[in-house]
Amino acid sequence: MTALDKEFSLVEEEMPILKEGEALIEVAGCGVCHTDISFWHYGVQTKQALPLTLGHEISGKVIAGPSEWLNKNVIIPAVLPCGECELCKRDRSNICRHQLMPGNDFDGGFASHIKVPARYLCPVPDTVLEKYSLQQLSIIADAVSTPYQVMKKADIEVGDLAIIIGVGGVGIYGAQIAKVFGAKVLALDINDDKLELAKQNGIDATLNIKGLEIKEIKDKIKGIVKELKASPFCWKIFEMSGTKPGQELAFNLITFASTLSVVGFTMDKLEVRLSNLMAFDAKLIGTWGCKPELYPEVVELIAQGKLHISDFTQIFPMSQINEVFKNTLDHKYIKRSVLVPDFK
């Protein structure tokens, strides 16, 4: 039996007993991430042995726990650090070695309730809920916050050229955030519908790269750069597709003083010439999730209307999880799926 043959089943459990500092969240929504698909289909190992409830893009309401959190609407960070170790104290809490990730280290958000440490919960102001449902906001936990962190790590500046490879469930937010930071943004994808959504949300230029060789793509990009009156140097390249062709293209786009940020995940291996980094005096950086400390900044961008999410999310009942996962694997959606509990 392959992973694809396996299906999720509903399991009823008793409400968990809370320890000091823990909160019980009534789940409003939980986004479907490529990481979930990797656990389910591609054999990526979870840290907690199976059986395990997946899901790490979670929003909900606190119904038990520390009094200061009771009845608050919150986002649960996808990475929950300890806050005390060397990496946390070096402002690298997103890679805390004691971190806990819902749906990986413990049961996640494809459920009616979840128990989590309360320390890094991100409150959702009423002003945001006037524009979006709490269910939609679940994607902040990864799809929005992850590209936000990587844009900050890449030191994006006003006037920079930002090239976003893959404007799917994560990349479309990366493109918007780069625009918010003042960059001229070029979106690359193989899907015209995704590229059209990017255009409708203010992205400067798009290019469908389906079937094109790398040299053809580079030539077309050079033409777009001239049209945008952008610099031929210092490009900020963001690989968001999580595919081998996307990563190969991203590395081949490195030019003088470029910064390549790898955000998408794939198990595929690449053969690249690392000397390009030396020759172009370029930087290659990775990123993992987002520091919980940055979540309020993301929420504020949404509250101010600078970052839009409605056009890029779709809601499904959680009871349809098997169908949604299979359709996601088959690339049948162009929007991020959010599963909403429809059972008690």
pLDDT tens digit string along 287-331? 999 999 999 999 999 999 999 998 899 999 999 999 999 999 998
Identify the pLDDT of residue 344. Answer: 57
Contact 321, 6 (CB under 8 A): no
Task: Name the pTM for this structure.
Answer: 0.92
Contact 339, 30 (CB under 8 A): yes
The SS3 assignment for 43 reads: coil
Q: Are strands 113-117 and 161-165 parallel, antiparallel or unpaired?
A: unpaired
d(CA 170, CA 54): 19
The sign of the CA dihedral 10, 15, 16, 19 is: positive
Q: Are strands 57-64 and 22-31 parallel, antiparallel or unpaired?
A: antiparallel
**What parts of the chain have a pLDDT lower than 50?**
1-5
Domain 145-286 has CATH 3.40.50.720: yes
Within the chain, which residue ranges are assigned CATH 3.40.50.720? 145-286
Name which CATH class applies to 3-142+290-340.
alpha beta
Within the chain, which residue ranges are assigned CATH 3.90.180.10? 3-142+290-340
Identify the pLDDT of residue 266. Answer: 87
pLDDT tens digits along 92-127: 999 999 999 999 999 999 999 999 999 999 999 999
Q: Which token pair is 65?
A: 């726990």
Q: How many residues comprise the chain?
A: 344
Identify the pLDDT of residue 144. Answer: 97
Identify the pLDDT of residue 126. Answer: 94
Identify the pLDDT of residue 212. Answer: 97
Q: How many CB atoms lie within 10 A of CB 326?
A: 15
